[in-house]
Structure 1
C-alpha cells in the first residue's frame, strides 16, 4: 500500500494545472487497472481529467478525487517520506491515501458487480466539471461511500456544512486622490461598507435558523495606483451553512445588499455551491459501518460533523444515502503538517471491504 501511495503522491496533481492532473489521472487509471483487473473510462471535461470504473448496474458509488491544493513543485519543500510510521507528502492525507485504501479494498472482494468507482480531478476547486456526473451516478445508487480523509482520531464524517460562494464587484469612479478626490466614487470605501454588512447577514441568519452559519470575506482587490480613487473593488465571500434553510436565507440577504456610497454600483455573482450533508443521510450507513468495525475488532467507530464540504454533499443532495470520511487517518489537510498514519491504512481498507460486502 505504501508503494502505491508513493506512486500517487509523487505524481503531483495541482487542481489548476490541467497537464499535471492529466498525468495523475493516468497513474490513477493504471493503478486501478492493476488492482481491479479492469480498464477505466477516462473523461476529460473542459480540460479536467476524471477516471471511472463501472461494474454491472451501479448500486454503490465509491467517490474520491486525485487533484490536490498543492501547487506543482511542492514536492521540493514537502517531499515524500515515511518516518516512524508517519507518511508525508503533498496530498497524502487529502486524499491519495484514501484512493489506495479503496483500490486495495476492492481488490480483496470476490466480485465488483454493482459498484461504480469515480475519481474526479476538480474537487478542490468546487467540482465544476464533475458535479453533473457525480449527481447522475448517485441518483442510480442506493449508497455512496466517500474516501475523503477522516475527521480527527479517525472519525467518520456524518455531517458536512453546505457551501455558497459569492463574488461582489463594486464599481465607482476614478479621480486624482490629491487634486480632486471629491469627483471620484471610492469603490474601496463602498466595499468596506459591504464587508460590515456581511457580518449582519451572518447574525441575521443565525438568529433565524440557529447556530453554525459563517459568512467570511476572503480575497479583496481594489485600486490601480496609490494616488487614484479606486474605480473598482472586488470581494470573494465564503459561506458555510448547517442546513438548507440557512443557505437560502443567506442567498436572499446577500442578493439584497445595497450600495451605501452615492454613485457606487454593486454586482453580485455566485450562489450556493454544495448543499449541506444532513446527518440523516448518513445514519443507516454509519450504523452498518459500526457493526462491521465491531466484527473486525476495530473498536467503536466515532462520527463527526465538519465545516468542510466534499462531493459527498452533492450525492446526499440528490437523495443518495452517503457516508463520508472513510479514507485515511491522519491530520493536516492543505497544511504543512499534512500526514497519514501508515498503520491505520490496512484496517480502514478492511473496513471498507466488509462494508461493501454488507451493502451488496
Structure 2
C-alpha cells in the first residue's frame, strides 16, 4: 500500500494544470487496472481527465478525486516520505491515501458486480467539469461512499456544510488622487462598506434560519497606481451554510447588495456551488458501517459534522444516501504538515471492503 501511495503522490496533480491532471489520471488508471483487473474509462471534460470503472449495473458508488491544491514543484520542498509510522507528501491525506485504501479494499472482494468507481480531476476547484457526471452516476445508485480523508480521530463524516462562492466587483471612477480626488468615485472605499455589510448578512441569515452560517471575505484587490483614485475593486466571498434555507437566504442578500455611493455600480457573480450534506443522508449508512465494524473487530466508529465540502455534497443532493470520510486517517489537508498515519491504512481498507460487501 505504501508503494502505491508513493506512486500516486509522486505524480503531481495540481488542479489548475490539466496536463498534470491527465498524467495523474493515467497513474490512477494503471494502479486501478492492476488491483481491480479491469481498465477504466478515461473521461475528458473541459480539458480535465476523470477515471471511471463500472462493474455490471452500478448500485454502490465509490467516489474520490486525484487532483490536489499543491502547486507543481511541491515535491521539491515536500517530498514523499515515510518515517515513524507517518507518510508525508503533497496530497497524501487529501486524498491519495484514500484512493490507495479504496483500490486495495476492492481488490479483496470476491466480486465487484454492482460497483462503480469514479475518481475525478477537479474536486479541489469546485468540480465544474465533473458535477453532472457525479450526479448522474449517483442517481442510479443506492449508496455513495466517499473516500475523502477522515475527520480527526478517524471519524466518518456524516454532515457537511454547503458552499457558495461569489465575486463582488465595484465599478467606480478614476481621478488624480492629488489634483482632483473629489472627481473620482473610490471603488476601494465603496468595497469597504460591503465588506462590513457581510457580517450583517451573516447575522440576518442566522436570525432567519438558525446558527452555522459563515461568510468569509477572502481575496481582495483594488486600484492601479499609488496616485489614482481606484476605479475598480474586487472581492471574493466564501459562504458556508448548514441548510438549503440558509444557502437561499445568503444568495438573496448578497445579490441584493446596493451601492453606498450613488455613482458606484456593483456587479455580483457566482452563487451556490455545493448543497449541504444533511446528516439524514448518512445515518443509515453510518449505522451499517458501525454494525460491520463491530462484527469485524474494527472498533467503535465515530461520526463528525464538518465545514468543508466534498463531492459527497452532490451525491447527497440528488437523493443518494452518502457516507463520507472513509479515506485516510491523518491531518494537515492543504498544509505543510499534511500526513497519513500508515498503521491505519489496512484496517480502513478492511472496513471499506466489509461495508461494500454488505451493501452488495
TM-score, normalised via structure 2 length: 1.00
User: In the alignment, which residue of structure 2 is the partner of 1:353?
Assistant: 353
User: In the alignment, which residue of structure 1 is the partner of 2:300?
Assistant: 300
**Structure 1 residue 207 displacement after superposition:** 1.2
Partner Cα distance (1:320, 1:201) in 2: 32
Matched, 1:25 2:29: no
User: In the alignment, which residue of structure 1 is the partner of 2:81?
Assistant: 81
Matched, 1:153 2:150: no
Q: What pairs up with 1:246-325 in 2 under 5 angstroms? A: 246-325=246-325
> Secondary structure of the equivalent of 1:79?
coil
Partner Cα distance (2:319, 2:165) in 1: 23
User: In the alignment, which residue of structure 1 is the partner of 2:90?
Assistant: 90
> Secondary structure of the equivalent of 1:343?
helix
- Deviation string, structure 1 residues 135-180 (Cα, Å, up to 9, x no partner): 0000000000000000000000000000000000100000000000
Partner Cα distance (1:52, 1:190) in 2: 48
Partner Cα distance (2:195, 2:59) in 1: 46
- The number of residue pairs the alignment matches comes to 360
Indicate conservation of the 8 Å contact 1:189/1:261, yes or no.
Answer: no
**Structure 1 residue 114 displacement after superposition:** 0.6
**Structure 1 residue 262 displacement after superposition:** 2.4
Structure 2: 5+ residue stretches without partners = none
> Secondary structure of the equivalent of 2:117?
strand
Structure 1: 5+ residue stretches without partners = none
**Structure 1 residue 297 displacement after superposition:** 1.1
Matched, 1:170 2:170: yes
**Structure 1 residue 261 displacement after superposition:** 1.4
> Secondary structure of the equivalent of 2:224?
coil
Deviates more, 1:202-211 or 1:312-321: 202-211
Partner Cα distance (1:5, 1:97) in 2: 6
**Structure 1 residue 295 displacement after superposition:** 1.2
Considering only aligned residues, what root-mean-square deviation do their CA atoms show, in Å? 0.5
User: In the alignment, which residue of structure 1 is the partner of 2:339?
Assistant: 339
> Secondary structure of the equivalent of 2:287?
helix
**Structure 1 residue 299 displacement after superposition:** 1.1
Partner Cα distance (1:106, 1:77) in 2: 33
> Secondary structure of the equivalent of 2:94?
helix
User: In the alignment, which residue of structure 2 is the partner of 1:195?
Assistant: 195
Partner Cα distance (1:247, 1:282) in 2: 20
Matched, 1:101 2:101: yes
Partner Cα distance (1:191, 1:13) in 2: 35
Indicate conservation of the 8 Å contact 1:330/1:341, yes or no.
Answer: yes
User: In the alignment, which residue of structure 2 is the partner of 1:230?
Assistant: 230
Partner Cα distance (1:152, 1:38) in 2: 34
User: In the alignment, which residue of structure 1 is the partner of 2:12?
Assistant: 12
User: In the alignment, which residue of structure 2 is the partner of 1:119?
Assistant: 119
Partner Cα distance (1:221, 1:136) in 2: 38
Partner Cα distance (2:296, 2:264) in 1: 64
| Structure 1 segments (4+ residues) deviating >2 Å | none
> Secondary structure of the equivalent of 2:297?
coil
> Secondary structure of the equivalent of 1:166?
strand
Partner Cα distance (1:207, 1:330) in 2: 36
Partner Cα distance (1:147, 1:47) in 2: 24
> Secondary structure of the equivalent of 2:340?
strand
Partner Cα distance (2:169, 2:271) in 1: 14
Partner Cα distance (1:259, 1:318) in 2: 37
> Secondary structure of the equivalent of 2:305?
strand
**Structure 1 residue 194 displacement after superposition:** 0.6
Indicate conservation of the 8 Å contact 1:223/1:233, yes or no.
Answer: yes
Partner Cα distance (1:165, 1:143) in 2: 28
Partner Cα distance (2:134, 2:263) in 1: 44
- Deviation string, structure 1 residues 77-130 (Cα, Å, up to 9, x no partner): 111100010000000000000000000001000110111100000000000000
